[in-house]
Structure 1
C-alpha cells in the first residue's frame, strides 16, 4: 500500500480535481509528498448518493456479516504495517510508541463493535403480545431499532487513528448499519488515505454494498459544510473545536430536514484535590498532575485544565511539587501550526489577567511548533469573576484554584460549564465533601473518576466520553464505548404486522437468538 494523494469513493480510488493540498510535518515545518487532490462538489455528490443507495442493502446485511466487516477493517489496518506508523508520526509529530498504542485502540474499537453487533442487544428487540380480550384491546406491538442513514464523520486532529477515518465515530456508525462518508483531517492526509484504503479493501473483501464507505479531502468550509448540508446525510460525528462544532450544528439545524450533530468540542476537565488527599500525598499528586497535563503535549480532550483545592500548607506542597515537575518538562511539538498558534495566543491572553499569577513554565527547547507547558494560580473569587479563565486552552496549560473553605469548592463546581470529565482525589476522611460534590459533578460531567487522572479513555461497554454542552452537543450520548452505537439508531414500532413480513429480530421463533423483552420479561426464548 502506498500514499498517492487519493480519495476513496465507494470501490474506486480517485483523485480530487478541485485543487491540491499537502500534509505537513510539524517537527520540521516541511510539506510532505505527495500533494493531495481536493474534492470537487460533484465528487462529494457522488459519494453521498452512493451512500444513500447503499443504505437499505447495508442495513439488511445479517449481523454476522456486519461484524465480520468490522473485524476485516481491523485486520486490514494491522496489515498496513510500519508504513502507517511512519506516516502518522511524520504528519503529527507523535512518537511511534504512542501511535502504535493508538493503532491497537482503533483495532480494538472495531472488534468491540463487532461483538456489540453479534450480541444484538443494541436492537432493543421488544414484544408486547396482543390482548384481544382486554378493554380496550391491545394490538400486537413489536419494537426494534434501525439505523438513521448515511453518517458524515469528521477526522480529528489530535488522534490521527482512533478518532479519525476508522475511529470510534466510523466504527459505531458502521456497526449501527449506517454507510459512512468521512472528511479526512487536513493534518494527516497520508495517514487518512492509508486507513481509507484499508476500509475500502475490507468492504470489497466482505462484499459490502458499494457506497458503504467513502473518504473525501477538502477545505472544511467548502466540503465539510456541504457534506453536512447534503440531503443524503442523516447524522454527523465530529471531534474538534467549539467554534467548528457549533458551525456544523447551525448548518444541520438550518436544513430542510434537520439532522443530529454529535460533536465533542470543549472541556477543561476539573480536578478536585480534597483536604485528606492533599495532606496524605500532596507532593505525589502534584507530580502526577503534571504528567497528565503534559501527556501528548496537552493535546487530549481530557487534559486537566483546572485544579481545585483548599488553601493551606498541603495545597502549597502540591503547588511546589507541580512547579518543580513542570520546570523539568521539555517543550513538545504540537500537531499543527494552527493548534500551536491558538495555544500561544491563549497563553499570551493570560498575561496580565487581574488576580492570575504564573506558577511555572516548562523548558523552552523543542522542535518545530513547540509548546511550553504553563501552570497558573488564582483564588476562587478571581476564577468565579473572570469568564476568560473558563475557556479551554488546547495544550499543556492549567490553573490551580485555592478555595477558602469547602463551601467555596462546591461553589466552583457549580459554576463550571459542561465537562467530559471531573476528577476527585480523596481519602476516606474526604467522603463527606465528596458526597456534597457528587450531585453537582453528575450534572456537569459525563465521566466522574476518583484517585486517578482523566487522560486516557478506556474503550469498553461502560465508558462515557460525552457530557453537557459545551463538552458535547448532546449530553445523552457518548463517542467512546459500546453505547456510542445508540447515536445512529432510532426506534420503530411494528403493529399487527404479518408474521412473514416482520424483521427476523422480532419473529416469534427468535431465529437470531437475541435477548428480547417479551411482555416485560427479558428472555432469549422463542
Structure 2
C-alpha cells in the first residue's frame, strides 16, 4: 500500500505518521457513495442545504485553534493569514447557505402558452435548472481552507444540490483529514449520508485520474497548475460520457502602469506592488507576475523604486519542497529565455528571495517561454514603446485571471483601447489596487480565457460559482403537480 508523508513547510521535516494513499477500491467506493447520495440531495429544499452549509461553517470555527495550528505547520502561512482564510471559508459556506435558502438554485422562467400557429404560438414552457451530479473537487495547494475540503467549490456544489468527492492536496494532508473528520460528524448529526461529502488522497496522478474517470462523477472542479489541469481536463473529455471540467489554472496577471500616474505616485505604487508580489511568498493565483511599462523617464524611475521595495521584502517558506524547486527552475528558465535579472538573490532551501527581471516587448512577444507563470515571488517587467505595443503584449499573454490598468481614469482613445485589450484576455479588470485579494461577492468573476481557466464563462469565486453545477431543462406542458414544486427537482 502506498503511503504519504506530511511535511513541515518551514523545515522540510516529516510531520506526523505516514498516511495511507487511497486505493482504487476506495476511490470507487467514494464515487459510488456520492452517486447514491445524489438522488435525495438533488431534490432537497433550500433549507436542508442551508442547514448543512451553516453546520459545516460552525464546525470549522469550533475547531479553529487546532485547525490553524496544524495548517501553520503544514503550510508555513502564519496564524494571521490562516485565521483570516478560515473566516473567509466560513463566510463562503454561510453565503451559499443564504443563496440556497433564497431558492436561487430553483429559479425558473415561466413562459405561458400562446395561442396561434408557430412561430408566434407555442405551448406552455418552464425553464428551470437541475444539479449535474457528483463533483470531483481537487484541492489547491495555496489555500488550505478556502480552496480545499470545504472551500468555495464544495460550498457552491452542495448549494446546487451536488455531492462532492474531494481529492486532498498533498501539501496539507493532516489538515484535510482533520477537516473531513469534522465534515463526517456534521453529516451524522444532521442525518445525512457519509457519501454526500467524502475525501480521497494520493501523491501521484493515478488517484485523481481514477476519480475523474468514474462513471458516477458528473463534473470536475480544480485549482492548480496549467499542466495538471490540462491533463485532468483531457481525462474528463476522453470519457465515454464526457463531463465538464472547471479548472482555474495558471495566470500572470499583467499590471499596466502608465507614465502619467507613475510621475505622481510611483514610489507609493512600487511599495504596494512589491508587497503584492511577495504576499504569501507569491503563491496566489492572482499574484502580479507581469508588469507592462511604456518607455519613459517615469517608468525608469518606477523600475528603480520597485527594485528597492522588493529588496526589502522577506517572503516566508514556500508550501512544499517541490514548489521551492519549481520556483528556482522557473526563474532560471526565464533568464535563459532572455530576461535580464534586476533582482536575483539566493534564498534558503525553503524560502526564496524575490526575483525581478526585465525584457523588451518584442522579445516577450516572440518568446513563448517568457509568458510562463513562475509560481512564487517573481515578476517580469516588459518595456513597450507605445500603447499599441502594450496591446500586443496583452494579446500575447492570451488569457489571465486579471489585468490591472493604472492610469486609465480619464477617457481617451488610448484608455479605451487598453480597456478593450484588458477585457479581451481577463475575467477581472482592476483600475486601482493590486490583483491579490479576491472578494467573495455577487459580481465577482474569477476565471478567464485559456490558460487561466478551462471554462472562461464561469467563475470559481462568488455567487455565480454555483451556476457551474446546474444544468438548464425546459418543461413543456408540465403537469400541475410538477409546476407546483416551483423549480425544485423531484
Residue of structure 2 equivalent to 1:483 = 464
- Compared CA separation, residues 470 and 82, structure 1 to 2 (3 A): same
User: 1:493 corresponds to which residue?
Assistant: 474
Deviates more, 1:307-316 or 1:428-437: 428-437
SS of aligned partner of 1:351: helix
1:428 CA drift (Å): 4.1
Distance 2:443 2:189 in 1: 32
Say which of 56, 75, 83 aligns to 1:100.
83
What does residue 318 of structure 2 align with? 334
Q: Distance in 2 between matches of 1:185 and 1:506?
A: 36
Choose from 113, 124, 135 the match for 1:151: 135
Deviates more, 1:226-235 or 1:200-209: 200-209
Q: Structure 2 vs 1, CA of residues 119 and 383 (structure 1 numbering), >3 Å: closer, same or farther?
A: same
Structure 2 residue 26 is matched with structure 1 residue 35: no
In the other structure, the counterpart of 2:61 is 78
Superposed counterparts of 1:278-293, under 5 Å: 278-293=262-277
2:180 maps to what in 1? 196
Could you tell me how far apart the structure 1 residues matched to 2:393 and 2:66 are?
47
1:166 to partner: Cα distance: 0.5
Q: Distance in 2 between matches of 1:196 and 1:503?
A: 37
Q: Distance in 1 between matches of 2:185 and 2:115?
A: 52
Shift of 1:312: 1.5
Structure 2: give runs of 5+ residues left out of the alignment.
none
Asked if the contact 2:327–2:374 (Cα under 8 Å) also holds between the matched residues in 1, the reply is yes
5 Å-filtered alignment, 1:237-276, equals 237-276=221-260
C-alpha deviation, 1:495, in angstroms: 1.2
* RMSD of equivalent CA atoms: 1.6
Q: 1:108/1:331 Cα in 2 relative to 1: closer, same or farther (>3 Å)?
A: closer
Give the TM-score normalised by the residue count of structure 2: 0.96
Q: TM-score, normalised by structure 1?
A: 0.90
Number of the residue aligned with 2:402: 421
Q: 1:455-474 maps to which residues of 2 (within 5 A)? A: 455-474=436-455
Shift of the 242–365 alpha-carbon distance from structure 1 to 2, 3 Å rule, reads closer
SS at match of 2:429: strand
Distance in 2, Cα, partners of 1:466 & 1:89: 28
The 2-side partners of 1:54 and 1:240 are apart by 28
Alignment of 1:179 onto 2:160: no
Seen in structure 2, the aligned counterparts of structure 1 residues 506 and 287 have a Cα distance that, compared at 3 Å, is: closer
1:53 pairs with 2:42: no
3-state SS, counterpart of residue 102 of structure 1: helix
Task: Output the CA distance in 2 between the equivalents of 1:303 and 1:365.
Answer: 20
Residue 171 of structure 2 aligns to a residue whose secondary structure is: coil
Q: Structure 1 pair 358/250, CA: closer, same or farther in 2 (3 Å)? A: same
Greater displacement, 430-439 / 444-453: 430-439
**Counterpart of 1:308 in 2: which secondary structure?**
strand
Q: CA deviation at 1:66?
A: 0.5
- Indicate whether 1:374 and 2:355 are aligned: yes
Specify the alignment match of 1:437 in structure 2: 418
CA gap of 1:426–1:350, structure 2 versus 1, over 3 A, is same
Contact 2:259 2:296 in 1 (8 A): no
Aligned 8 A contact 2:294 2:385 in 1: yes
Shift of residue 170, structure 1, vs aligned partner: 0.6
In 2: Cα distance, 1:331 partner to 1:450 partner: 26
Shift, 1:431, TM fit: 4.6
- Note if contact 2:401-2:428 (Cα within 8 Å) is conserved in structure 1: yes
Is the partner of 1:504 in helix, strand or coil? coil
